[in-house]
Amino acid sequence: MTVLPIVIAPDARLKTRSQPVTQITPDIHQLMDDMLDTMYAARGIGLSAVQVGVLKRIIVVDTEWRESEDGKPAERKPIRMINPEIIGETEDLNLYTEGCLSFPGQYSEVERPEAVRVRYLDEHGKEQVIEADGLLATCIQHEIDHMNGVVFVDHLSRVKRDVILRKVQKARKMQELPEYPVDLG
């Protein structure tokens, strides 16, 4: 198990567009495994490669996993996506309270399409299409945004965005960092 440092805002990498994966190599497989280890260790439900400092179009999500209460391994149902793209979305919108591992401890309501259709390559290079709704749709959209240099606070008013950024910067200065490893940029 390898837990990678998570890039914390503000960091220029979070505003940079990620590059497509052109070849699925053992290094890409290892990166996805490490991203899942990192996401679970940080108690997240989604992670984009840029959040661990790799500017590749890769995301991992698992909106169903839960920590076990009896000491046994938690049930996990990870989805690994390479070069995901939204190819359809509903006009109906959902409002979710979103957080982000790159903005530790910060949450705000974000409105996004209720359901999406996403095309991607799986870890074996096979093209897949998934139709997602609810929390899974929100999570996938959030992570795809990361690959495009968009973070969840970009969906908020300027006032709310500035408040969250100030709180994250203050926590960094005060060394009030989350339990998981972070990259202090």
Residues with a catalytic annotation lie at 143
Rg of the chain over all Cα atoms, to the nearest angstrom: 16
Tokens of 137: 């749709």
**Could you give phi then psi for residue 91, rounded to 5 degrees?**
-80, -25
Query: Cα–Cα distances in Å, from 72 out to 42, 44, 54, 69?
Result: 18, 19, 32, 8
CA distance 151 to 25: 28
Query: Cα–Cα distances in Å, from 133 out to 100, 140, 173, 180?
Result: 19, 10, 38, 29
Strands 182-183 and 6-7: parallel
**Cβ atoms of residues 60 and 154 within 8 Å:** no
